[in-house]
Amino acid sequence: MPNAYISGTGFYVPPRVVTNQMLADDYGIDTTHEWIVQRTGIEERRFSDPGVATSDLAAEASEAALEAAGLTKEDVDLIILATLSPDCHFPGTGVYLQRRLGMTEGKDAKFVPALDIRNQCSGFVYGLSVAASMVQAGNLKHILLVGAETHSHAMDMTTRGRNVCSLFGDGAGAVIVSATEEDRGIRGWNLGADSRFADALCQKIWTIADETCFPLDEQGRGIVEPELMWAHMNGKVVFKHAVQRMIESLMQVCMKLDAKRDDIDLFFFHQANLRINEYIAKMLGIPSEKLPHNIERFGNTTAGTIPIMLAEAERNGTLQRGMKIAMVAFGSGFTWGAAIVDW
């Protein structure tokens, strides 16, 4: 059975920086830089320009990851894309990424499968478990796994939406999960979900149980009320469960793999709130130098946070071959997951 390792990483964030102060000045939101920094650690985030979609960000990150792995798009056997901000309702964004990468062009086009993962902030860790399983089963050699989000085009950028829109940013991270005979790679994972809290953080837009799925006006246009249109979050409930589930998930994967806290060189925690992560680190006795973060620059990029951090850490030399790393995520669903990788 081959091992599955991460042979390349890449990331892309759109160039437009939106500071906390700009949320107040440019969007007229009743907020302050101090409030956002104190509660979340976020100082700025990136927003895409009009016309840019999640598959566009994903394509940039994918090309960087392929280059880092020394591979070309012809080497990819499967695309897995995790997002909660898809290009459209259907088809999935994985196929748009395939098209955007030009993977259907030329006589040697392989028309590889494209799988979408819908697990919000846990999407990357869920996707990693699927990619590793497929590689370890011996079926596939190189899987392109991407976490990408374009939040900025679908948030309530008013004071009504301030508890959500001040947290999220756009960006994409990609990894290549490859087969190897070497003794390294993705060692194991722990995943979970608690559907009792499915409505604690959600963006419904429409309800398929209703006929039609949203009311129509006389011209047949859909009417979407603000309660359905925009994301809703019970921040305090999310905060409490994030702390509990991230700790549990990390401890479970460590126990399963017999990994001790001090064996782990770096902890890549989902970037939802710096205070959540600092609290967990304090509870578990993880020193701050083992806890990379980029939430202050990018906000919460949901499925993108962990792969963006991996790519940044590889490029700035923090993450090196031979290290043992852990990743942990929690988000809407609720869903959560943790994984351990020998880099």
- How far, in Å, CA of 48 to CA of 199, rounded? 27
Tell me which DSSP letter residue 89 carries: S
Pick the closer one to ligand UT7 by CB: 164 or 186.
Answer: 164
Q: How far is the CB of 40 from ligand UT7 (least distance, A)?
A: 5
Q: By CB under 6 A, is residue 40 in contact with ligand UT7?
A: yes
Nearest distance in Å: CB 273, ligand UT7: 4
| Of 2, 266, 271, the residue nearest 124 (C-alpha) | 271
Residue pointed to by tokens 């990136």: 46
Q: Are 70 and 8 in contact (CB under 8 A)?
A: yes
Instruction: Say how far apart CA 61 and CA 78 lie, in whole Å.
Output: 16
Assess contact for 45 and 299: CB atoms under 8 A. yes
Of 270, 273, 277, 294, which is the active-site residue? 270
Q: Is residue 48 near ligand UT7 by the rule CB under 6 A?
A: no
Near ligand UT7 by CB under 6 A: residue from 85, 166, 277, 294 = 166
For position 31 contacting ligand UT7 by CB under 6 A, the verdict is yes
With beta carbons less than 8 A apart as the criterion, state whether 100 and 58 touch: yes
Concerning whether 270 is annotated as a catalytic residue, the answer is yes
Choices 7-15, 254-262, 271-279, 311-319; region in contact with ligand UT7 by CB under 6 A:
271-279
> Is residue 158 a contact point for ligand UT7 (CB under 6 A)?
no
Stretch that binds ligand UT7, among 150-158, 233-241, 254-262, 320-328 (CB under 6 A): 233-241
* Side chain identity, residue 211: E
Binding to ligand UT7 by residue 339, rule CB under 6 A?
no
Q: 290 near 267, Cβ under 8 Å?
A: yes
Round to whole Å and give the CA distance between 46 and 63: 20
Span 290-319, contacts to ligand UT7 by CB under 6 A: 300
**In whole angstroms, what is the distance from residue 320 CA to residue 17 CA?**
29
Name the minimum Å distance from CB 165 to ligand UT7.
Answer: 8
Considering only residues 238, 286, 319, 327, which one is a binding residue for ligand UT7 as defined by CB under 6 A? 238
Full DSSP string of 126-144: HHHHHHHHHHHTTS-SEEE
User: Which member of 39, 118, 184, 204 binds ligand UT7 (CB under 6 A)?
Assistant: 39
266 lies in the site for ligand UT7, by CB under 6 A:
no
Strand 44-46 to 201-202 pairing: unpaired
Chain residues in the site for ligand UT7 (CB under 6 A): 31, 35-36, 39-40, 121, 162-163, 166, 201, 235-236, 238-239, 242, 272-273, 276, 300, 331
Active site members: 121, 270, 300
